[in-house]
Amino acid sequence: MGRITARRAVRRVGPDGDVRRPDTLAVEEPLEIRIGGESLVVTMRTPGDDIDLVHGFLLAEGVIGSRSDVKLIRYCAGRDGEGLDEQGENTYNVLDVTLAGVRPPQLAKRSFLSTSACGVCGKAALEDVQKQTRYPLSAAEPAVSPTLIGSLPGKLRAEQRVFEVTGGLHAAGLFAPDGELLVVREDVGRHNAVDKVVGWAVQADRIPLSDTVLVVSGRASFELVQKAVMAGIPMLGAVSAPSSLAVDLADEAGLTLVGFLRGDTMNVYTHAARLGF
């Protein structure tokens, strides 16, 4: 699977004793995102779908609102060889973005919503997302039955190709209200997987995603709810638990948040009307 997986030696200890063998691991590498040649952020991710990731990240942070806001994205070798490996080859770990129109003045000094920071209270974080989103959620759409949403984690799991080999990746899937899988992405970071899904939608001119359901393979953090709200996604289902701030943001923004989504059992934390309750 190329740069997505890597082989490492492992000692497998079990009932049959100590066995030495190679193991397949998910690759984790840094990706530096630059705007007009200036470093914006570095995220650790699984290589692949990097262009999607950047589009999704920039939309989630309020830097762009659609594909038309991005003029060009290109891999570069970095400054002073930063993006080169020991053989002088491009690592493809640096992406430079040229925005269309005027560069947003807040980029130079802003602190990203997705970064936890001392001194930032929950109330301020909630207000920040509400101010930045360009796609307020409608209270009515979409309508999805509990039975249908309960089936979506299984569909997502069936498409987790790299997880099947490594057991070490998160996944995010975007579904239509009838249960059709639109796109799935995997990554070592759950936030990156969501950025890749949203970035796919940005490039396909499908923003806002007002008629979709987002399902993630792990827990639902504030950051994932933020990304859903910024993309206009009205429903988020997580296989595991949400955080308290994630529930608060979902409630305030009008997003239906479902946790512990496992077949015919689930916890509906906010805006249950979309599920017929």
| CATH classification at residue 204 | 3.40.140.10
Its domain, for residue 214, covers: 146-275
Interval 63-110: pLDDT, tens: 999 999 999 999 987 555 566 666 667 778 999 999 997 665 555 444
Residue 233 maps to a domain: yes
pLDDT-based confidence at 112, cuts 50/70/90?
Answer: low
Domain membership of residue 73 (yes or no) is: no
**Is residue 133 one of the residues assigned to a domain?**
no
Is 248 part of any domain?
A: yes
φ/ψ bin of 263: left (φ > 0), alpha (ψ from -120 to 50), beta (otherwise): left
118 given a catalytic annotation:
yes
Question: Residues with Cβ < 8 Å from 213, sequence gap 6 or more?
Answer: 142, 144, 149, 152, 174, 175, 176, 177, 233, 235, 236, 237
Alpha-carbon dihedral 60, 63, 67, 71, rounded to 10 degrees = -150
Report if residue 156 sits inside a domain.
yes
Token pair for 62: 């309020």
Give the number of other Cβ atoms within 10 Å of residue 40's Cβ.
Answer: 21
Residues 6+ apart with CB under 8 A from 115: none
The catalytic position among 102, 118, 121, 140 is: 118
pLDDT tens-digit map of 18-64:
888 888 888 899 999 999 998 999 999 999 999 999 999 999 999 99
Q: Does some domain include residue 165? A: yes
Identify whether 187 is part of a domain: yes
Confidence of residue 227 (pLDDT cuts 50, 70, 90): very high
Residue 221 within any structural domain of the chain? yes
Residues with Cβ < 8 Å from 221, sequence gap 6 or more? 190, 191, 242, 243, 246
Instruction: Name the domain count of the chain.
Output: 1
